[in-house]
């Protein structure tokens, strides 16, 4: 079946603009994660959903970051009033039920804030 998809793949924003990044998880995956990957670094956890419930948002760097998954499938990560330090690749991952624990990653959205 199809993997995790993300859109757009690339986004350029002027400082102060709002952006919205979309993630379509693998069908049937109840768990969904967002990670931020700065240049030359490993991904860092932002937030986690189980179905539509956001169970952990401890990794969101500021209140300018907001994520939602209203129907328990597609998720959107929104960044308000973007800053240059928000430039990174934003990765979405979904996980199958059960004890497998493998997370499948999407291709990411590369955000550049000018």
Is 40 a binding residue for another protein by CB under 8 A? The answer is: yes
In order of 14, 68, 96, 114, the CA distances from 34 in angstroms are: 22, 11, 15, 23
Size of the site for another protein (CB under 8 A): 23
**Of the ranges 12-20, 38-46, 65-73, 80-88, which one interacts with another protein (CB under 8 A)?**
38-46
How far is residue 106's CA from residue 67's CA, in Å, rounded to a whole number?
16
Is 66 a binding residue for another protein by CB under 8 A? The answer is: no
How far is residue 13's CA from residue 113's CA, in Å, rounded to a whole number?
5
DSSP state of 84: G
Q: 73 is written with which tokens?
A: 């499938």
Is 56 a binding residue for another protein by CB under 8 A? The answer is: yes
- Of 41 and 112, the one with the shorter C-beta distance to another protein is 41
Is 104 a binding residue for another protein by CB under 8 A? The answer is: yes
Binding site for another protein (CB under 8 A): 31, 33, 35, 40-45, 48, 56, 58-59, 91, 93, 101-108
């Amino acid at each position: 079946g199809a993997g995790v998809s993300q859109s757009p793949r690339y986004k350029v924003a002027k400082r102060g603009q709002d952006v919205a990044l979309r993630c379509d998880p693998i069908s049937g995956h109840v768990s969904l994660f967002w990670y931020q990957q700065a240049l030359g670094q490993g991904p860092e956890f932002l937030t986690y959903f189980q179905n539509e419930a956001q169970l952990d948002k401890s990794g969101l760097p500021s209140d300018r970051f907001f994520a939602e998954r209203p129907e328990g499938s597609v998720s959107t990560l929104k960044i308000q009033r973007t800053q240059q330090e928000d430039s990174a690749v934003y990765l979405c991952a979904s996980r199958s039920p059960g004890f497998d624990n493998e997370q499948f990653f999407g291709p990411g959205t590369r955000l550049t804030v000018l």
